[in-house]
Chain A
Amino acid sequence: MSPARLFQGGLVVVAAALAVYPFFGTGYGVRALLQLFMWIALAGSWNLISGLTGYVSFGHVAFFGAGAYTAAILITNAGWSWPLACAAAGVAACGLALLIGYPCLRLKGPYFAIAMLGLNEVLRALVSYFEGLTGGGSGLSLPTLQASVPIYYVMGLCAAAVTALTYVIITSRFGLRLMTIREDEVAAEAMGIDTARHKLYAFLLSAVGPGIVGGLAARDQGYIEPISVFPLATTITMIVMVLFGGKGTVWGPVLGAVILFVSQEVVWARFPYVHQLLFGAIIVAVVLLMPRGVLGILQIKYRLPRTV
């Protein structure tokens, strides 16, 4: 059996195991995996814009928060069912990305990163300001509903969808053009690529996932406040997961999310005072020692295809 076949087989086995897990697992296991899926979807989405085009977004959590608030408001004020509200959250995040991406993606280098950072802070301030709708600093409490298992499946599908989308993009001409922009934007333009439009498409795609996932997370936790859905730390975690796994790859974000989330849950939770220090150390170590991430190293060492 070829390694590729073996890999595909393994993937099917893992997917099947995850699909039946809620029937055997504990409430905690379901919840922990649910949050792992969330991180995979978030990291994967960040990778779509920043990993592929090289435009580093420091405010991607803005789409997560926007999705969380959209879904929470639709559920509490308009009485929508949660699957519908979460779909709307994805649309809202995409709309926001269009609004922001159209002007901001013309900014180059650090300017785009800073603009995104600002977007997150502005959204948080707005949410705190419009108290009537959002509850302001008191947050929004959703009606009690125990739906961890359905949310588990939807969250899992989101993670799978983002990963599949990454594969499709990387193996397409569209993906090649995005990577050309990353390597040399001027050359890309000279070759006739409409860079502004391509960057915007990638940006829109990268916002949908966090929007939906934000809605799901809000529904699952049952309570959101500005500080818990717009934390800068979430963007940093997404970035570290992608860098650690391997940016611009299909499986890098998944690998990074799994390794970092599991180690946080299993190892670091036992050393609360050291784990933040360790997290910082990992960032530094990755940037210095393996800028291409775990997968990047494996790709070079074992000559894996670009589509891994």
Chain B
Amino acid sequence: MTFKVVGVFVAGIVVLATTAVVVDAQGPIRIGASMSLTGTYAKLGKNQHEGYKLCERDLNAKGGLLGRKVEMVVYDDQSMPATAVRLYEKLITEDKVDGIMGPYSSPVTEAAANVTEKYKKVMVSPLAATTSIFRKGRKYIFMVISPAEVYLEGLVDIAAKRGLKTVAIINEDTLFSKAAAAGATDLAKKKGLQVVFTEAYPKGNTDFSALLTKVKSLNPDVIAAGTYFDDAVALTRQMKELNVNPKMFGVTVGGDLPEFYDTLKQNAEYIYGSTQWEPSLPYPGNKEFFDSYKKEFGHEPSYHSAAGYAGCMIYAEGVKRAGSLDADKVRETLLKLDMKTMFGEYKVDQDGFQVAHKMVLFQWYEGKKLTVWPDELAAAKARFPTPPWNQR
């Protein structure tokens, strides 16, 4: 009698143990990334992180990936390349994640890419916009957004069409902003504008008075700035204080965040910003993304959120079509993939360099961002020229 009971008990345990093993083999697909949750890029990194989180949720709502649930594993890299290198090494060798997504910003991606290449892991990098990262013979890295060089194309184009003559170009002295400024300089020269001033300021700079005084004395028609968030805000404030009045003023990154307007209020009016994406753009699924993001996180998405979301979806699509998590198979699929996302088009060349995605230029208009360039996507005509500070 007791023997039987023990037998049943043992059998039960065996059955339980096997199911446990089976369930384990079918565990979630884990996708790892390091993210700038603190440090210089915290604000932008947070948005990208939320894009990842929403992607995770939406994938799981549709039954996951390859029949398995998806789980994001994210660590804080403090916006430091050295920390990111360590964390990607941890994700790959200790956590043994199944897939990798890129961090925020070009410098951090540049460093992290060395690790992912070493272990031959596919890394879709949604927020790295510097061309050189993708032109080093790396095989497993994929670009989602338009390159830094074309960020200010819209601003320069409108200026040229409106018959403006002179432009001052300033930028934060880091990988991305520098490339954006260099691109703007080339485009301006090509379109017959005269570049009368160029200067770079160090990262973390908050005092622009010396720089702006020089700009003011040259009185350029256009000021184009390769910025992130904090410097974009500080520049605008100090332009007002020093009464610098160009006919157009445009920034690269940061100007598109809702916080930019919240911080500057009516001083943000008329300012141009370039962006990879806007909620109003007629891309498939864009409205649904905007609504569900707002509902989930209680604030509007920025293009960093959208790029994070799209990048994650592109990686998922690659895995789905490859039918496998194998890096080389996913790589082949991603190289061939031509996909229309809520972020715009995705298509890369043999280096993984983005060739299909389009930039847009917007202008702050009574607290809203209105797309003013390119013409086929424009929602309104630019309010031109920008009036002096005391008339805004």
Interface residues of A (CB under 8 A from B): 26-29, 31-32, 35, 124-125, 128, 136-139, 141, 144, 146, 217, 220-223, 225-228, 231, 269, 272-273, 275-276
Cβ contact within 8 Å between B174 and A225: yes
Q: Is the CB of B114 within 8 A of A273?
A: no
User: Which residue of the partner chain A has the closest CB to B130?
Assistant: A138
Q: In the bound complex, how far is the Cα of B107 from the Cα of A269, in angstroms?
A: 21
Residues of B within 8 A of A231 (CB): 80
A144 and B93 in contact (CB under 8 A), knowing A125-B202, A227-B203? Answer: no
Instruction: List 6 A-B residue pairs with CB atoms under 8 Å apart, sorted by A's residue number.
Output: A28-B94, A29-B93, A141-B136, A227-B202, A228-B107, A269-B76
The minimal Cβ–Cβ distance linking B178 to chain A, given in whole angstroms, is 5
Chain A residues with CB under 8 Å of B118's CB are 146
Cα–Cα, bound, A148→B80 (Å): 19
Chain B residue with Cβ nearest A38: B82
> Which of B80, B89, B107, B117 sits near A28, CB closer than 8 Å?
B89
| A272 interface neighbour in B76, B178, B204, Cβ under 8 Å | B76
Q: How far is the CA of A138 from the CA of B131 in the complex (A)?
A: 12
A228: which B residues are within 8 A, CB to CB? Answer: 80-82, 107
Say yes or no: A137 contacts B175, CB within 8 Å.
yes
Most buried by B among A137, A217, A231: A137
Interface size class of B (residues with CB under 8 A): 35 or more
A144 and B92: CB pair below 8 A?
no
Q: B98 at interface (Cβ–Cβ under 8 A)?
A: no
Tell me, rounded to whole Å, the shortest Cβ–Cβ distance linking A46 to chain B. 18
Query: How many whole Å from A32's CB to the nearest CB in chain B?
Result: 6
Given contacts A137-B203, A228-B82, whether A144 and B38 have CB atoms under 8 Å apart is no
- What is the interface of chain B, defined by CB distance below 8 A to chain A? 37-38, 75-76, 78, 80-82, 85-86, 89-90, 92-94, 107, 110-111, 114, 117-119, 132, 136, 172-175, 177-179, 200, 202-204
Quick one: closest B residue to A31, CB to CB? B89
List the 3 closest A-B pairs by CB distance, nearest first.
Answer: A137-B173, A272-B76, A27-B93
Given A146-B118, A226-B202, A227-B203, do A136 and B178 touch, yes or no (CB 8 Å)?
A: yes
Q: Which listed residue (B37, B119, B132, B200) contacts A136, Cβ 8 A? A: B200
Contact check, A225 vs B117: say whether CB atoms are below 8 A apart. Answer: no
Given contacts A124-B202, A137-B200, contact A27 B89 (CB under 8 A): yes
Q: Which chain A residues border B173 with CB–CB below 8 Å?
A: 128, 136-137, 226
Q: How far is the CA of A249 from the CA of B98 in the complex (A)?
A: 46
**Complex Cα gap A231–B37 (Å):** 18
Q: In the complex, which residues of chain B have a beta carbon less than 8 angstroms from the beta carbon of A144?
A: 114, 117, 136
The residue from A27, A137, A272 contacting B38, defined by CB atoms under 8 A apart: A272
Q: How far is the CB of A268 from chain B (nearest CB, A)?
A: 9
A273 and B89: CB pair below 8 A? no
B93 touches A26 (CB 8 A): yes
| Bound: A223/B17 CA distance, A | 48
